[in-house]
Amino acid sequence: MKFIFVTGGVVSSLGKGVLTSSLGALLRARGHKVTAVKIDPYINIDAGTMRPYEHGEVFVTAGGSETDLDVGNYERFLDMDTPEGSQITTGQVYQEVIRKERAGEYLSQTVQVIPHVTDEIKRRIRESANRAGADICIIEVGGTVGDIESLPFLEAIRTMRFDEGYENVAYVHLTLAPSVTSGEIKTKPTQHSVAALRSVGITPDFVVVRSSDPLGEDMRKKISLFTSVDPDGVFSSHNLEHIYEVPLTLEDQGLGKAVERRLKLEKVQPNLWFWQDAVKKLKNPSSSVKIGFVGKYVALADAYQSILEGLRHAGIANDARVDVAWISAEELEEVGAENTLLAGLDGILIGPGFGNRGVEGKIKAARYAREQKVPYFGICLGMQVAVIDYARLGGLEGANSTEFDAYSPHKVIDLMPEQLEQQDMGGTMRLGDWPMQIKAGTRMASIYGLPNGGLVKERHRHRYEVNPKYVAALEGAGLVVSAVTPGMRGRGAGLVEAIEIADHPFFVGLQAHPEFKSRPMRPSPPFKAFIEASLEFAKARG
């Protein structure tokens, strides 16, 4: 097993996740089985209860773990499902150490950060790598070198070189080289950052420098001199138009070959044709489409990262540029706002969310798409607001979700009885991969290439469900329930997984989050079909 540790310095959000993913893609293109692990120094057990505006999207794995958004990048770049345990937090580590101490597993020892906490960190890293069956594990250490929260993790990864052997462990450090007013790139922050890393006993094998423009040869030599890193180990991660260019740029600079040499890997010519083709289509698409994204966190794109990537993947598959118009659900609530904010769009997408802020604006958007025959794609809450709109259309006045109106006369979206028995907040959630039975002859059947219907799995992250008591009334009003959870709750017809409208160019809602399984090389079928329908709509209206 080979281990590569990626650390960051100077400031947060430099792109350690993209660097980790890109390095993994280069090694995977050489035929290695690669996995990735994210270390987050916060005390939260996972990212499930953290605010999107503060932390960005919560990514959900196949097994149902609520993780940092970087885990989503790992899955997309490596085209793999990360195993459970692919995110390690301070909360998880200390929770387990305290459990072992209470259970007497430390045999009356004085429990300390070294060795008990650091040993638990190393155990979790190795366990995740082994669970994935990988021969190379890349571990991203969140936060910034110098943060007090990161110290136990840095100590753990420092000692892993002694545990595993020099040829089996490498360190990659990502830093910042900002440009001053004159345009000159300054290397002093990088020098200080590497010095801070060396002060805890880690000398990086490679330094990757984030900057606005590519580093010149003089800058690379200067950084090499002041950081004691070989000149061939200094790489530039300058600003690029698309994140899928990063693997190609790093490969052109020789990062893949340098890692091969450092870890004594067999020299292999990487197969990067897909990345080259994808970048070509992203930069020179044959057409374009404008999608309106209606949400409550539109001020921070990271809150919807996987959905944006799903749209990008669908654009690559359709050789089209997808332009996203961010539309605030709260602004849509104003009288007549939909006629200006939603006009001129080729498609409307409503994504997930919790809480009642902006919900009536989302219902308006679903109604507008239904009435104006604009292609519509609803994900999770996006499906639920479409159901609420259709219920009101069908005569169920005041129809709503219990989440938004506990006194609604028609709770068409509600908690199920077994959920009400749960005390833990996370226990009421449906998380991870769940099967859905697609009905034959529906648009969903066509989307997934199953004309006779069939079973597929998509990932979930939600609490409320379409109320089974109202399914017959909704279908009687013309709404098509095109997929259900098979055998859920002991019933032959389970919970609603997907809805659609038959006499519409494209009106589809999924309770699941198909964006979590979308890959640039294997786009999500619903996303691909949505963009295809939006392109046809744009073409038809000229």
Domain that holds residue 384: 285-540
In this structure, what CATH number is given to the domain that contains residue 239?
3.40.50.300
Q: Are residues 261 and 309 in the same domain?
A: no
**Which tens digit of pLDDT belongs to each residue from 253-275?**
999 999 999 999 999 999 999 99
Q: Are residues 75 and 213 in the same domain?
A: yes
Number of domains in the chain: 2
Q: Are residues 336 and 196 in the same domain?
A: no
**Which tens digit of pLDDT belongs to each residue from 30-53?**
999 999 999 999 999 998 888 777
Residue 490: pLDDT above 60? no
Final residue before a domain boundary, out of 256, 277, 298: 277
Dist CA 373 CA 64 (whole Å): 35
**Which tens digit of pLDDT belongs to each residue from 419-446?**
555 545 445 788 999 999 999 999 999 9
Distance, C-alpha 256 to centroid of its chain: 25
**Which tens digit of pLDDT belongs to each residue from 66-84?**
999 999 999 999 999 999 8
Residues present in the chain in total = 542
Do 509 and 386 contact (CB within 8 A), yes or no?
A: yes
Q: Tell me the CA distances in angstroms from 156 to 12, 136, 139, one per residue in order.
A: 21, 18, 12
Final residue before a domain boundary, out of 277, 310, 326: 277
Dist CA 536 CA 542 (whole Å): 10
Task: Check residue 260 and give its pLDDT.
Answer: 96
In this structure, what CATH number is given to the domain that contains residue 466?
3.40.50.880
- In terms of average pLDDT, the best of 106-110, 445-449, 485-489 is 445-449
Helices 273-283 and 305-317 pack at an angle, to 10 degrees, of 90
Q: Are residues 407 and 381 in the same domain?
A: yes
Q: Are residues 343 and 230 in the same domain?
A: no
Q: Are residues 347 and 377 in the same domain?
A: yes
Q: Are residues 327 and 243 in the same domain?
A: no
Quote the mean pLDDT of the chain.
92
Per annotation, catalytic residue among 57, 500, 515, 532:
515
Residue type (1 letter), 464: Y
Q: What beta strand segments (E) does 451-528 contain?
A: 454-462, 465-466, 480-484, 496-500, 507-510
Instruction: Provide the percentage of residues in the chain whose pLDDT is more than 90.
Output: 85
Residue 96: pLDDT above 80? yes
- Rg over alpha carbons for the chain, rounded to the nearest Å, is 25
Q: Are residues 192 and 323 in the same domain?
A: no
Task: Respond yes or no: is residue 380 known to be catalytic.
Answer: yes
Do 90 and 156 contact (CB within 8 A), yes or no?
A: no
Do 322 and 314 contact (CB within 8 A), yes or no?
A: yes
Give the number of C-alpha atoms closer than 13 A to the C-alpha of residue 381, restricted to the C-beta side: 24
Final residue before a domain boundary, out of 277, 293, 315: 277
Per annotation, catalytic residue among 57, 173, 313, 380:
380
Residues with Cβ within 8 Å of residue 394, at least 6 apart in sequence? 473, 474, 476, 477, 478, 479
Q: Are residues 272 and 289 in the same domain?
A: no
Residues with Cβ within 8 Å of residue 262, at least 6 apart in sequence? 170, 205, 206
What's the per-residue H, E or C state across 498-514?
EEECCCCCCEEEECCCH
Q: Are residues 45 and 165 in the same domain?
A: yes
Task: Respond yes or no: is residue 513 known to be catalytic.
Answer: yes
Dist CA 474 CA 476 (whole Å): 5
Task: Check residue 417 and give its pLDDT.
Answer: 73
Q: Are residues 156 and 96 in the same domain?
A: yes
Q: Are residues 267 and 149 in the same domain?
A: yes
Dist CA 365 CA 349 (whole Å): 9
pTM: 0.93
